[in-house]
Amino acid sequence: KANGRNLFGDQISPWNTYRYDYSNPWVRRFLIDAIVTNLQRYGISGIRFDNLDGIKGYSGGGGQEFLTELSMEIRKYRPEAILIGEMFFGESKVMASIENGGMGINMRTHSDLFDFFKDNMQKRTEEINMEMLKNAIRNPWYWGEAPRGNYDTNHDEAANRRDGATGA
């Protein structure tokens, strides 16, 4: 920009990357068009939103509007698309349909299974809390939201600096 600021956003994320300026309608439109174009061009059947909590809670505003607008555009083009939000803090509104004031997300991740491994991988067998594992596998809807998918990857672990028990 003429004032020296980044064109698409200049807030720094916890991972030391720039966040998009979701409050800017031109940035939202650019992102929506890019995603829908990829759905059309490559026959993609769904989208996973990385760090949905961070997008929704973007301090500059507009994150929730972006997600709702994007969901609406995707549903116009491909109503059957699966929308998955990487989200660790429950909020049923996210998974409500757009017609019911939600964002139309089909599924959200949770880290209960990953957290079991992270919290217990260096313990002695008799110290391991097996109830935590049972709940992670058998009770993924205890926040009253369905469906939720287990998050059992390590793609962010070095960046998240989880006490050295993971990829860090």
Task: Calculate ∠ Cα 35-112-163, nearest 5°.
Answer: 95
Return the pLDDT at 30. Answer: 94
Give the pTM. Answer: 0.70
Return the pLDDT at 165. Answer: 47
Return the pLDDT at 162. Answer: 52
Query: Which pLDDT tens digits describe the chain residue by residue (168 residues)?
Result: 788 777 788 788 777 888 899 999 999 999 999 999 999 999 888 888 888 888 888 878 888 889 999 999 999 989 888 888 887 666 677 778 888 888 888 887 766 777 777 788 888 989 988 888 887 776 655 545 555 555 545 555 555 555 544 444
- Round to whole Å and give the CA distance between 101 and 36: 22
Return the pLDDT at 89. Answer: 66
- Round to whole Å and give the CA distance between 145 and 108: 9
Inter-residue long-range contacts of 43-47, CB under 8 Å, 24+ positions, other chains counted = 44/81, 45/78, 45/80, 45/81, 45/82, 46/81, 46/82, 46/83, 46/84, 46/106, 47/74, 47/81, 47/82, 47/83, 47/84
Return the pLDDT at 141. Answer: 52
Return the pLDDT at 32. Answer: 95
Return the pLDDT at 49. Answer: 87
Return the pLDDT at 71. Answer: 92
Return the pLDDT at 6. Answer: 79
Return the pLDDT at 53. Answer: 83
Under 8 Å between Cβ of 154 and 161: no
